[in-house]
Amino acid sequence: MQPIRRALESARGAGHAALIPYLTLGFPHLKASLALLEALEEMGCDVVEVGIPFSDPVADGPTIQHSIDVSLRGGVHLGLCLSALEELGNGGPRLLFSYFNPLLRFGLCNLTAALPASGVSGVLVTDLVPEEAAEWLDHAQPARIETCFLVTVTSPTARLERAARASSGFVYCVSTLGVTGARSKIDPRARETVERVKSVTDLPVAVGFGVSNVEDVMEIRDYADAVVVGSALIRALGDETETGALVARAQDFLGPLLEAAHA
Return d(Cα 7, Cα 1) in angstroms, integer. 10
The residues, any chain, with a CB within 8 Å of residue 177's CB and separated by 6 or more, are: 152, 153, 154, 187
Note whether 19 and 227 are within 8 A (CB): yes
The residues, any chain, with a CB within 8 Å of residue 2's CB and separated by 6 or more, are: 121, 122, 144, 146, 168, 169
Number of Cβ within a 10 Å radius of residue 214:
14
> Could you list the active site residues?
49, 60
Note whether 93 and 7 are within 8 A (CB): yes
